[in-house]
Amino acid sequence: MRKGPSFWLIILTLTLSIFLSALEVTVVSNALPVIVYSLQGSNFAWVGMAYALASSASMPMSGGLAEICGRRYTMLGALLLFMTGSALCGSARNMNWLIGGRVVQGLGGGGVVSLSTIIMADLVPLSERALYNLFIVLAWATASTIGPLVGGAFSNAGQWRWIFYMNIPICGLCILMVLTTLSLPTPPGTLREKFSKIDWIGNCLIIASTTSITLGLSWGGAKFSWSSYQVLLSLILGFCGLISFVVYEAKFAPVPILPITIISNRSSLSGYIQTFTVGIGLMGIPYYLPVYYQACQRSSALHSGVLMLGMTTTLCIFMISVGLSVAKAKKYRPQMWVGWCIYITGFAVLSTLTPSSSVARAVGFPVITSAGLGILVATGYFPILAPLPVTQNAYALAFYTFLRTFANIWGISIGAAVLQNKLNDSLTPDILSQMGLREGDPDLLYSIISQIRFMEPTLQEELSDAFSKSLRIVWLVFAGISCIGLAASTLMPNLPLQNQLDEKWQIDRGGISSQSEKSSTDGSSVTFSEV
């Protein structure tokens, strides 16, 4: 069907919004060693985890608000939160301030990604979505490519605060575009009626459970031992909370944010398992590859961004090419199987990198991993949505995005725990004392990375070797986790891609018309979604 001007303006708005969110992730990860050193702070892992935690915890709520308050106003609220968080991060005077700002940023960022994916699902049927998703892919890939360079450039110039401040004018542009282009219907009803439909108990359960698990993961092996009661209690409470959430949603929630039907078929279950496992590496790679470049290759933040160009460019190429292949062949299983094999192989070859590895290997090996990652990111939601009716798209996308973002927390946490534990084993008290650090210091990692290249040669070699051996274990752990995703992919049945749209949101004469106004007060029409 021919798409009108309103359709393309909405696509442009979604593309810019995704660019903003993706840029934030890659800019911060490359500049983080410099930021932590500048603030003389601790809890380095929480700079990333706070954003991911707030983002994942906000997704069920943002999806619900999108349905009962309308896509437009919910997107505006998310952008305003992101802008506020960026201002707080840029003005941070200590690590706690920065982490708090990242929480606000994450609340907005989760909503931005969530609403962008929901609106795309509203406008384009699954059979065509791979083609139109190329606009989103290009935005995400472009941000991933320039992000490390921008972060490195600001860091090298001693202006890391502009990593956050630059988001403010971009947010302003996004808000203007939402106001002028996103003329989607607003469901009727008073605020009281709308808020009464939100599953407050379900949202509280998922937020509390996610936070508890994140605390356990961040403490384990760093602040407390893995066998300590603090870590075990946090993890046990978190997982029990998740189980309670599923039971509540299946049995008691009047308007559930997770209908049990979306995980009760083999294809969707396989897709969700794959989503979680690939999500671990999705955040682990951009967070810990700069560690190798800066600690082992002794690169500056800017140079490490340059070295990552091959990886991000390859990611872009494979996401686009695989999206085109799905759009043409209407098949996704062969691409996903190939993607998993390449992805696992990439982690295996990354584990062979040492401080003496050539630049060709240091740049080329991550390209293998990013090729597999590009394939899997571009195809991950097809096995989830293929067996479901279009009326459940919002529910399914909500859980899909939550799992992917929740997996990002695991990627950061697992990498930090492995690195810290291996570094504590590798570095002697004498070496630590030369750097003014004590044995078991939980912030050993990021407190010294940016300074290694300025140390005397003997100390440089010892530190680079220690980081190299620690990162080797990180990559092998990620490879092992990815094997779970490969195994889950064998459960996917061969299903056709649907060619229907949810009738509540239809394109008509170049615009958007809705049938949802007729009965938004009916609880059965409420959908909760996020990306």
Instruction: State CA 196 to chain mean position distance.
Output: 30
Where is 464: in which H helix or E strand?
helix 457-489
Give yes or no for residue 101 having a pLDDT over 50.
yes
Task: Give the up-direction half-sphere exposure of residue 254: CA atoms within 13 A in the CB hemisphere.
Answer: 8
pLDDT digits (tens, 9 = 90+) for 68-91: 777 788 888 999 999 999 999 999
* Helix residue ranges, H only, 124-199: 126-156, 162-165, 167-181, 191-195
Q: How confident is the model at residue 509 (pLDDT cuts 50, 70, 90)?
A: very low
Torsion sign (Cα): 190, 531, 146, 355: positive
Across 359-367, average pLDDT: 93
CA distance 293 to 52: 24
- Is there a contact between 301 and 31 (Cβ–Cβ < 8 Å)? yes
Helix (H, G, I), strand (E, B) or coil at 472: helix
pLDDT of residue 278: 93
Across 13-42, average pLDDT: 79
Across 354-376, average pLDDT: 92
What DSSP letter does each residue of 40-95 carry, written as one string? T-S-THHHHHHHHHHHHHHHHHHHHHHHHH-HHHHHHHHHHHHHHHHHHHHT-SSH
* 8-state DSSP, 264: S
pLDDT of residue 512: 42
Nearest to 137 by CA among 415, 355, 374: 374
Give yes or no for residue 490 having a pLDDT over 90.
yes
pLDDT digits (tens, 9 = 90+) for 450-460: 677 777 888 88
Token pair for 391: 């009326």
Token pair for 92: 């941070």
Across 514-527, average pLDDT: 36
Nearest to 246 by CA among 262, 223, 227, 229: 262
CB neighbours of residue 238 within 10 Å:
20
Residue type present at position 96 = N
Radius of gyration of the chain (CA): 22
Q: How confident is the model at residue 134 (pLDDT cuts 50, 70, 90)?
A: confident
pLDDT of residue 352: 95
Across 45-68, average pLDDT: 76
pLDDT digits (tens, 9 = 90+) for 398-449: 788 788 888 888 888 888 878 877 887 777 777 767 666 666 554 555 567 7
* 8-state DSSP, 427: S
What are the distances in angstroms from CA 327 to CA 8, 78, 130, 139, 324? 19, 31, 5, 19, 5
pLDDT digits (tens, 9 = 90+) for 139-181: 877 887 787 788 878 877 778 898 899 999 989 998 998 888 8
Stronger pLDDT, 397 or 471, i.e. the higher one: 471
Torsion sign (Cα): 485, 491, 494, 500: negative
Strands (E), 344-496: none
pLDDT of residue 527: 32
List Cβ neighbours of 229 (8 Å cut-off, separation of 6 or more).
Answer: none
Least confident of 88-97, 99-108, 423-432: 423-432
Tokens 């941000």 correspond to what residue? 143
Question: Mean of the per-residue pLDDT values for the chain?
Answer: 80
Angle between helix 393-426 and 200-219 (nearest 10): 20
Stronger pLDDT, 443 or 306, i.e. the higher one: 306
pLDDT of residue 437: 64
**What percentage of the chain's residues is helix, strand, coil (to nearest 5)?**
75, 0, 20
Residue type present at position 261 = T
